[in-house]
A and B are shown apart, each in its own frame.
Chain A
Amino acid sequence: MPDTITFKIKRQDSESSGSYWETFVIPHVPNSNVISCLMDIQANPENSKGEKVAPVVWECNCLEEVCGSCTMVINRKVRQSCSALVDQLEKPITLEPMSKFPVIRDLAVDRSRMFGALKKVQAWVTADGYHDLGPGIREPQNHQEIAYKLSECMTCGCCVEACPQYSLNNNFLGAAAISQSRLFNMHPTAKNIADERLDTLMQEGGIADCGNAQNCVEACPKSIPLTESIAEIGRQVSGKLWSNIFQA
């Protein structure tokens, strides 16, 4: 077991400044993950040249892969840094911010576009009110199983980082939002605005922007069947197109 680990980290001081690589060599401690190493750097922020530098800035919160905060590109692969166990990674370990979002600082990026996409596809149930209206609608177990899987999406950004179509310069909604549309279109009451969701998905940045590379489903840390969701929404959109033609 080596007694040190080398990290090469792509840093950037602000949104507008250029990026640069900085190397950190830290003591190897068994059972480390990338986050515990970044914490070690915080507690002793010194680069490999022995210079005191500002600690690396990154996002994290739950540290157990349910909040989606700590997504970054580790050894060229997008994933959560909490579940990236150091002993399983090739060394030196490279850390980069996701490339499909504006960098805030170092490894922290601005993913507000993903939350904006959830607004566009109206990813919510329209309720009559929050008072006592009795139980909800009964649902078969197999329906719940599909919905639960889709509902585990934590808006982490892995799917869109891996997607060749999603870029800083376009307005593609991305796999996560398309999959959420499927979730709400199958909900017994949220489906009442399914047509409005499909209208959005038929516009620029919608389903037609998907190039079917299928990288998203590979990258999803929660194994959400994103390509199935895209196919299902594709079917719903086609159905709507046909009915639009017949109604016209």
Chain B
Amino acid sequence: MIKIKNLHANVEGTEILKGINLTVNRGEVHAIMGPNGSGKSTLANVLAGHSAYEVTEGEIIFDGKNIIEMEPDERAREGLFLAFQYPIEIPGVSNSIFLRTALDEIRKHKGEPELTPKEFLSLLKEKAQILGMDTSLINRALNQGFSGGEKKRNEILQLLMLNPKLAILDETDSGLDIDALRIVSEGVNAYKSKDNAVIVVTHYQRLLDYIVPDFVHVLYKGRIVKSGTKDLALELEERGYDWIIKEQPETV
């Protein structure tokens, strides 16, 4: 699904990603973990094409295409989705109009017809139900005045509606209480299939109790320094990151 090769990226002249190599296949869930400042969110944003980050070296092959030169909206239409750590508020723009526009753009790109208002609404209701979302949120302005939990739920609603090939979840668990965490995870699990893939960026193991990863990678100072299975996440929970950091050569 996505093949990241020797990816280097700068922000304001400072190198944050220093050669990431990662392959995620269809049907897989990969977790990216690591201490603060290791480059996890940078990786998520670079994959989505945020203009504040400059890719200096490497390739990102997404579903057979090198997307390095693609604009963020093109990547999104190709089926790459980023659930934001801090979803953005857009005053006055209704959640449903926004979703409708996004869905139309993506369907148009795939050569599918636009949904009728009725079809759209019933799809929206179906997906909102999975997340136990109050339908009133749908007519409110996009993320405006939403609580932290509502915002995260809204991200997953968008994920379910847009049904991308690859979902990157950037610290979707941050700021969620245990019930919200469970509901959001159920949403992600409802999305997951053998045809798509998920990259979960997280600090904590607890999210991985719900969204079970096939692989876990530890990011440290811009490189993946250790990869393993779900057990690695459990070990990190127990022992922290120090033991891995100590294994690293000083020069990193």
Q: Do A and B share a complex?
A: no
